Amino acid sequence: LPSGNLIVPVVKNANEKNLAELAADVNRLAENSRNNKLKPDEVQGSTFTISNVGTFGSLMGTPIINQPEVAILALGIIKKRPEVISGKDGDEIAIRSMMYLSLSFDHRVVDGFLGGSFLRKVGDYLEQFDTNTTF
**Number of domains composing the chain:** 1
Is 20 inside any structural domain?
yes
Q: What is the CATH number of the domain that holds 106?
A: 3.30.559.10
Would 104 be classed as within a structural domain? yes
- 59-110 confidence digits (pLDDT tens): 999 999 988 999 999 999 999 999 999 989 999 999 999 999 999 999 999 9
Residue 3 binned pLDDT confidence (cut-offs 50, 70, 90): low
Instruction: Evaluate whether residue 8 is within a structural domain.
Output: no
Report phi then psi at 133, rounded to 5: -65, 135
Domain extent for 35: 14-128
Distance CA(84)–CA(96), nearest Å, equals: 9
Predicted TM-score (pTM) above 0.85: no
Residue 77 lies in a domain: yes
Q: Is there a domain that residue 7 lies in?
A: no
Q: What is the average pLDDT value for the chain, to the nearest integer?
A: 92
Task: Please indicate, yes or no, if residue 65 is contained in any of the structural domains.
Answer: yes
How far apart, in Å, are the Cα atoms of 106 and each of 51, 110, 112, 115? 17, 6, 9, 9
pLDDT digits (tens, 9 = 90+) for 26-46: 999 999 998 999 999 999 999
**Per the domain annotation, does 3 fall within a domain?**
no
Catalytic residues: 107, 111
Q: Is residue 6 part of a domain?
A: no
